[in-house]
Structure 1
């Protein structure tokens, strides 16, 4: 059995512990102690339990037990003060509180650090400093607090993305490493970055503890590490401090005045912030069932803080998707709501690149104000030239406007910034639309297939493939894709799709003709 947690792989068969590719030396007794704690991690283990299991019931002093526990914590980079992985519960016992994934060692494996999956191809380093922020570990032991740790990371990524000279990998690509033992060097190769930020969050009562460390993945050197133990009300200041410290470690000569530009307007209500963190995982999927779960949370957040740009933009995005799917007969009401919330996001989020990008997409499709939309995309990219939403949203809009070359350029930048993003169906769809308009039907079909791989439940991905296949002369295969469009969205029609995507008739009309030839209703 192999237990995977944080960067560690605990192999009971080979009796070895690896941190990434490095073997961690431990004595047999310490290994047995860790094995017992991890195996029984669902309960509190008493001192007598440990003595019976590790020392076979022999009389053991408290000092000897404490020595072994300290050695176990040291092997995992933990401490008695931090208790990130091994928690002491006074007068009760001990418990392993790390998030563990169990996996079987592959048959015939010959190395303790055999990867759980084959490594992904290495990406070339960009020509400027580059960083990936990995998911912070939820150290509270409460699964319901997982969203809070994730939200902290998303805010740090957003803060770093404001820095023009820094290439920042988007959240959705780094989060594929969540709850996995990771090798920092391997992660850096797969994401194409030089620096990696890791950490953990414990949220208890009205206090929060955040630990973080910055690693130069090429050398393995820890450039900076810090622990913050603060009232929960100081969470935004802590996020800014982490961002500033990372910038200072990467570019020591950067003037303090430049670093201050990283900071942005924060919501006035911590409760509103918490509600938005809960809503975003549902909102970003664009799927009607998840949208229905996100909207009430976002509306509650705005009731507490109407000036929260991130909540306004996310709600605009949700209303746009509900309008597009025409659920519940609220079509025009949803379009008006989408525009209203997009305009509110613009008014109160002039320094929030993601809010401006989402607002731009909604303004383009639901208000047909192309000039304002393009201006919003440019403003978002001037604020953060690593913002994947700005590249993806603008690529989709530009593709439907007929600006094929620029759409493809921005889509490719989005895919490079976030190579493993579950939202990569957006830039791939932009590439499909742009290539279809340019008459490059084989390239359009290839991009549509990539979009389907990322999100097979999104009807539009199948529509793009159907249109491209028709123009390639693959009519039978196109009809199969048309059926899949209707399986995903039984109400789909080309006229209905035009309402939400027909920005330029010269682009949409030949596309709609191909869809009708594939068998989709008018």
Structure 2
């Protein structure tokens, strides 16, 4: 109850709250919560617990940090704090009204808990704990009146609280985060110096085999935050925090460093170091070793890499790394300049060489796409120099894995990334990039494991949460994917890539108006990136505005020399308008550019299939030969070219081969139906499958089921030749009209809310 109003919890949240109340004051591990509340459901994971706890906190008004009712205990789990609430006795609570339709049958009165102590939204909250009939098992769970001074009630169907089977067992590896050191120099002009000091300490600590070390990109996110140590430790999921300050005067450096326990917020130690500036690098190593010795009773191994030979080189490398953290085109170009300057001063610096390789790759990912004349990877020279200098460096090995991946050698990339992780288990980038290549190969479970480790080590660097959201979505865990993206954007609203990805998923779930708002925001955050403007041009079509898409494309063409992207946009605009011949000519011109992109030849083959199946099959055999293997090497990423191949094999009398490929296609479609599939899955694959089997009624039903919550590439459904038998039916025309009405409503929503804050 809150201000006399009843709030009904979903059964999942009420079961979770029940368990917390029954075990109040105990630290409950995520594994224990999963098994005791959800049972052994495959979908229940650590992330399921995180989503549910966040939702329950929101219902209780326990949303402001630091949390006061459901406390996160770093690296161990959660604890329900009974001291944050007050009991309401007997008749002080109004009797609940008739059960809410969503609350389940058998709801009744069973005692209560008063609200959080304090003011604001949480004041006066009364939580009525109802009798619940769990729909899945039809078992009635009764919760008695809760009093903080009463002994814990008996558990229902769970082992006793002291059961060793579910004891909260912290990870043997300790976790540490190093916050950016404060610049206490009177002029306040030594920020890069202070950042470089902390960055080097982080790098040294990552070499410990017994520590989990939060990456710089996440710990530095708290540079200007007002959060307390406990709050930061909770968000980064660490045991201890290292913070400090730096003062520099002439040739002297004074550093104050403090190692703080996350649970108690007490100092484990505090040290003051006064050194000559020439001993900077030794000072960094001393602080890192002091941390390692305190936490693990061991010292750190050496890096074996040539260190910076001057403070100027060291500061340039630091500036380059911090610029890359912002992940925009302009910042990436600044990073290239910083690393270039460092290499001009010290050509054999491995950090600068690998930094330059990474920065160039980031520029390439956000700038023009590659052409046939631009296939030589000009970063190979820098990578080879780094390999000669430090062949066993984890960052060099990781960069080699990136090179294999860019060169379309995924198996070599996986092997190399695994070696990088073995060399340095704290290399979040290696874990993240390993997860990405596994994802691209359709190995979504393996990808999730690697990406979750990357996010554990670097929770606030956007690519990790974004790519992990991709993996969740591909496994059918859409709620967790969207939750992760939304939570990340609450903390880092300026990360453009997260806006771009959540727009894709919102569009796939029919919310194209809201999706367009995120696309516009991504462009505002990264206005120099042609990739962001490209996405905005394309998304105008998602809300049915081809004139704005065309104007956007023309502006992009005037500003950048991007023949691939401009051609792609123009062909899709032609397709939106039903100008099929013009679309095909644009696709032919794009494919002739020789890009590595696999989508455009698939689209061109699809266009040929409308009037020239032999030509379509020839193109598919050239560009997608695995489709014609026995068995085929079909993955969820290749459903579009596979669909075209099946149709044309059927049309050209190669029925046996078509049947074999169709069986693999159907298996993959079933997988995407039950697991959602990667973002390249558009949603109509089930209808394709029915149509290719000749089940036209089922195909029509599958399309009708999409209409209410699907707007993703909704135009051109009449384009696909396998839909020809249903194209002119009244039901098909009716579903197209409903789609168009829904898109028009989304466009109106966007226009009405385009300037409103994103929440």
Residues 490-514 of structure 1: CA deviation (Å, up to 9, x unaligned):
2359976984798998454454463
For 2:469, the equivalent position in structure 1 comes to 432
Q: How far apart, in 2, do the equivalents of 1:377 and 1:233 lie?
A: 36
Q: Is 1:390 aligned to residue 337 of structure 2? A: no
Higher strand share: 1
For 2:334, the equivalent position in structure 1 comes to 293
The 8 Å contact of residues 207 and 301 in structure 2, kept in 1 or not, is answered as no
Q: How far apart, in 2, do the equivalents of 1:459 and 1:404 lie?
A: 24
Q: How far apart, in 1, do the equivalents of 2:337 and 2:372 lie?
A: 18
The 8 Å contact of residues 131 and 167 in structure 1, kept in 2 or not, is answered as yes
Q: Is 1:260 aligned to residue 428 of structure 2? A: no
For 1:412, the equivalent position in structure 2 comes to 452
For 2:197, the equivalent position in structure 1 comes to 152
The 8 Å contact of residues 342 and 359 in structure 1, kept in 2 or not, is answered as yes
The 8 Å contact of residues 345 and 359 in structure 1, kept in 2 or not, is answered as no
The 8 Å contact of residues 442 and 468 in structure 1, kept in 2 or not, is answered as no
Q: How far apart, in 2, do the equivalents of 1:289 and 1:132 lie?
A: 28
Residues 350-382 of structure 1: CA deviation (Å, up to 9, x unaligned):
454345435533541x32232443233223322
How far residue 430 of structure 1 moved from its aligned partner, in angstroms, is 1.7
The 8 Å contact of residues 217 and 325 in structure 2, kept in 1 or not, is answered as no
For 1:52, the equivalent position in structure 2 comes to none
Q: What pairs with 1:492-503 in structure 2 (closer than 5 Å)?
A: 492=535, 499=596
Q: How far apart, in 2, do the equivalents of 1:198 and 1:140 lie?
A: 16
Residues 322-365 of structure 1: CA deviation (Å, up to 9, x unaligned):
2223359999659723444344444434454345435533541x
Q: Which of residues 56, 66, 72 in structure 2 aligns to 1:122?
A: 72
How far residue 263 of structure 1 moved from its aligned partner, in angstroms, is 6.9
Q: 1:211 to 1:456 in 2, by over 3 A?
A: closer
Question: Which stretch of the first structure deviates more once superposed, 452-461 or 149-158?
Answer: 452-461
How far residue 465 of structure 1 moved from its aligned partner, in angstroms, is 3.7
For 2:247, the equivalent position in structure 1 comes to 202
Q: How far apart, in 1, do the equivalents of 2:322 and 2:240 lie?
A: 26
Q: Which of residues 274, 282, 286 in structure 2 aligns to 1:241?
A: 286
The 8 Å contact of residues 317 and 359 in structure 1, kept in 2 or not, is answered as no
Question: Which stretch of the first structure deviates more once superposed, 197-206 or 141-150?
Answer: 197-206
Q: What pairs with 1:6-155 in structure 2 (closer than 5 Å)?
A: 118-119=65-66, 122-125=72-75, 126-127=170-171, 128-155=173-200
How far residue 234 of structure 1 moved from its aligned partner, in angstroms, is 2.1
Question: Which stretch of the first structure deviates more once superposed, 447-456 or 127-136?
Answer: 447-456
Q: Which of residues 288, 310, 322 in structure 1 aligns to 2:363?
A: 322
SS in 2 for 1:518: coil
Task: Name the count of aligned residue pairs.
Answer: 397
Q: What pairs with 1:309-458 in structure 2 (closer than 5 Å)?
A: 309-327=350-368, 336-364=377-405, 366-419=406-459, 421=460, 423=461, 425-438=462-475, 440-441=477-478, 443-449=480-486
The 8 Å contact of residues 199 and 211 in structure 1, kept in 2 or not, is answered as yes
Q: 1:460 to 1:427 in 2, by over 3 A?
A: same
Q: 1:190 to 1:290 in 2, by over 3 A?
A: closer
How far residue 442 of structure 1 moved from its aligned partner, in angstroms, is 5.1
The 8 Å contact of residues 213 and 225 in structure 1, kept in 2 or not, is answered as yes
Q: 1:350 to 1:475 in 2, by over 3 A?
A: same
The 8 Å contact of residues 407 and 430 in structure 1, kept in 2 or not, is answered as no
The 8 Å contact of residues 259 and 269 in structure 2, kept in 1 or not, is answered as yes
Q: How far apart, in 2, do the equivalents of 1:520 and 1:268 lie?
A: 60
How far residue 485 of structure 1 moved from its aligned partner, in angstroms, is 7.0
The 8 Å contact of residues 242 and 257 in structure 2, kept in 1 or not, is answered as yes
The 8 Å contact of residues 283 and 314 in structure 1, kept in 2 or not, is answered as no
Residues 182-204 of structure 1: CA deviation (Å, up to 9, x unaligned):
64444434433332222222233
For 2:346, the equivalent position in structure 1 comes to 305
How far residue 167 of structure 1 moved from its aligned partner, in angstroms, is 1.8
Q: What pairs with 1:160-199 in structure 2 (closer than 5 Å)?
A: 160-179=205-224, 183-199=228-244
Question: Which stretch of the first structure deviates more once superposed, 343-352 or 511-520?
Answer: 511-520
The 8 Å contact of residues 442 and 637 in structure 2, kept in 1 or not, is answered as no
Residues 455-506 of structure 1: CA deviation (Å, up to 9, x unaligned):
6666654554454445545566666666777776223599769847989984
The normalised TM-score by structure 2 is 0.46
Q: 1:460 to 1:132 in 2, by over 3 A?
A: closer
Q: Which runs of 5+ in 2 are unaligned?
A: 1-63, 76-169, 527-531, 539-563, 569-594, 600-623, 625-632, 640-678, 684-710, 717-759
Q: 1:474 to 1:214 in 2, by over 3 A?
A: closer
Q: 1:499 to 1:317 in 2, by over 3 A?
A: farther
Q: 1:323 to 1:132 in 2, by over 3 A?
A: closer
How far residue 151 of structure 1 moved from its aligned partner, in angstroms, is 1.3
Question: Considering only CA atoms, is the larger Rg found in Structure 1 or Structure 2?
Answer: 2
Bigger RCO of structures 1 and 2 (CA < 8 A, at least 6 apart): 1
Q: What's the C-alpha RMSD, in Å, of the aligned pairs?
A: 3.9
Q: 1:331 to 1:199 in 2, by over 3 A?
A: farther
Q: Which runs of 5+ in 1 are unaligned?
A: 1-116
For 2:14, the equivalent position in structure 1 comes to none
Q: How far apart, in 2, do the equivalents of 1:455 and 1:508 lie?
A: 30
How far residue 159 of structure 1 moved from its aligned partner, in angstroms, is 0.9
